[in-house]
A and B are shown apart, each in its own frame.
Chain A
Amino acid sequence: MSGILLLLWRRNRAALVMLCAGLFVFQWVITRLVPGPEQAELMRNMLNFLPGPLRATLGDELLSTLTPRGFLAFAYIHPFVLVMLGVWAVRITAGALAGEIGQGTMDLLASRPVSRGAFVASAATALLVGVGLIALAGFGGSALGLSSRPVTNVRAGMLLPVVAGLWLLFAAFGAVSLLVSALRRRGGNAIAWSAGFMTASFALEYVARAWQPIRFLKPLSLFSYYHPQRAIIRGQLGGEDVSVLTAVVVVSLTLAYLAFRRRDL
């Protein structure tokens, strides 16, 4: 393990364990709450009485997939899940570059034979591995729950595309956050910008669904490329979603490297 990666691990391992445990328990609890087929039908009928704009905000996809399987997929876009993964994506990236500069410890690290690229690569590795572990912990909770409480027509493996989509979404948010971190001088400042971007993206996705005049802006939200219900039905991620999110990851990480390589510390 590289020295920088070791430092990131030492400073963030407790948070990583807590986030994994939190998501594991959350998804396990969700399997206890999954409605049966009759209950799901009743809920679908009730939701159909909601006004159109409100139904649109919830997502028409949700209504059409209000089944035990759809309910499980919905738990992967629950705000609790998004917050848990968002905390890791922002914490690890803001702390690795801007955080070290802001607290003055970057001088000790960068005065050693460590390339600027190694800083960005280590932060990116910690981001991608951490997001993967947290998402897999959630999957573990679902799998354990489903093994003790079988749900009609649902196997834990069906959730794997959803988990992959979740990983890709937060890899993209984290990569943008790493770019912000490479440009800022203080960790708090980088956290504020990154969290603001994530919140704006989330808000845009929901508001644009319900409000026609700004619907054209919806593709600007990264959440527009994450469809857990669709993924669980199709058994795979949408090609466009994968392409856009992967492009955001690659472009953001490349820009983060270029910006960090050139800047004064």
Chain B
Amino acid sequence: MSVVLETSELCKSYGGLEAVKDLSLHVRQGEVFGFLGPNGAGKTTTIRMLLRLIKPTSGSFTTFHRGDTGYLPGELALWPDLSGRATLDLLARLSRRPPVMREPLLERLQIPPAVLRRQVRTYSDGTKQKLGIVQALQCAPRLLMLDEPTKGLDPLMQQDFYTVLEEMRRLGTTIFFSSHVLSEVERLCDRVALLREGRLIASGTIAELRGDHPSFEASFLARYRA
């Protein structure tokens, strides 16, 4: 499988604070790649560098063009005075790709047309998050970057979201996502990278990372308490 995302000694500093240090990793075509770490580990900073929202202090990376990438931010903000439909139309237009996945996603995530006609300001947090998922996936991107995508979703909706991701994977989409939820990482990811204080402390398949530990969670806790 070809590599679609690769970083080489990627660093980002804010003044004296090093948010990401010498991060080197690669993600292969069609892979679901989990990015794990506690708050402040540098997950969001890395994703924002890969999306060219912020510039690395040093190091380099290669990835798809932004038109081929779907993104769900960790702190999703939408325009309160736009309707859901107008929001999706605007973001599809900016992506320069037709929103071929929109209707099936709306159906799967149970967002009816009446809700889409309403202004976003009237939405619950869960509905906003669902709209965020649709905007990220609607143009069938080749690479998906999801920053804590299940935040705010109820357990039933989380299951529907996992099903959507599995369908996207079957279609050949590469998925790069950060999470705090070990069970979803274990369920979905082919490979995982663990980050602590901006440094990569381990990466590999779930089985490789579990090693001799009784579970992935036990292995995770052992690494972070070490």
Interface residues of A (CB under 8 A from B): 3-4, 6-7, 10-11, 103-114, 262, 264-265
Contacts and interface: CB of A to CB of B under 8 A. Distances in A.
A186 B77 CA distance: 14
B78 A105 contact: yes
Interface of B: 48, 51-55, 65-67, 69, 71, 73, 75-79, 81-82, 86, 90-91, 93-96, 135, 145
B71 A108 contact: yes
Given A107-B71, A113-B95, A264-B55, A10 B86 contact: yes
A11 B67 CA distance: 24
Given A3-B93, A112-B66, A107 B55 contact: no
Contacts of A6: 90, 93
Contacts of A108: 71, 73, 77-78, 91, 135
Nearest to A113: B67
Given A6-B90, A107-B48, A107-B71, 13 more contacts: A3-B90, A3-B93, A10-B82, A107-B53, A107-B77, A108-B71, A108-B91, A110-B52, A110-B53, A111-B52, A111-B66, A113-B67, A114-B94
A241 to B, nearest CB: 38
Contacts of B90: 3, 6-7, 10
28 contacts: A3-B94, A4-B94, A7-B90, A10-B86, A10-B90, A11-B81, A11-B82, A103-B77, A104-B73, A105-B77, A105-B79, A107-B48, A107-B71, A107-B73, A108-B77, A108-B78, A110-B51, A110-B52, A111-B52, A111-B69, A112-B94, A112-B95, A112-B96, A113-B66, A113-B96, A114-B94, A265-B53, A265-B54
A111 B71 contact: yes
Contacts of B81: 11
Nearest to B75: A104
A1 B145 CA distance: 28
A115 B186 CA distance: 37
Contact of A264 (B53, B65, B76, B135): B53
Contacts of A104: 73, 75-77
Nearest to A116: B52
Q: Tell me whether chain A's interface is mostly helix, strand or loop, or mixed.
A: helix
A112 B91 contact: yes
Nearest to B73: A107
B94 A113 contact: yes
A246 B93 CA distance: 33
The CB with the most chain B CB atoms within 10 A, among A103, A108, A110, A265, is that of: A108
A7 B92 CA distance: 13
Nearest to A7: B90
Nearest to B80: A103
B193 to A, nearest CB: 21
A202 B135 CA distance: 45
A84 B118 CA distance: 31
A3 B94 CA distance: 6
Nearest to A112: B94
Nearest to A114: B94
Nearest to B83: A10
A93 B152 CA distance: 33
Nearest to B55: A264
Contacts of B79: 7, 11, 105
A32 B78 CA distance: 46
Nearest to B66: A113
A10 B82 CA distance: 8
A7 B86 CA distance: 9
A77 to B, nearest CB: 33
Contacts of A112: 66-67, 91, 94-96
The CB with the most chain B CB atoms within 10 A, among A109, A111, A262, is that of: A111
Contacts of B55: 262, 264
Contacts of B78: 105, 108
A250 B96 CA distance: 30
A180 B170 CA distance: 47
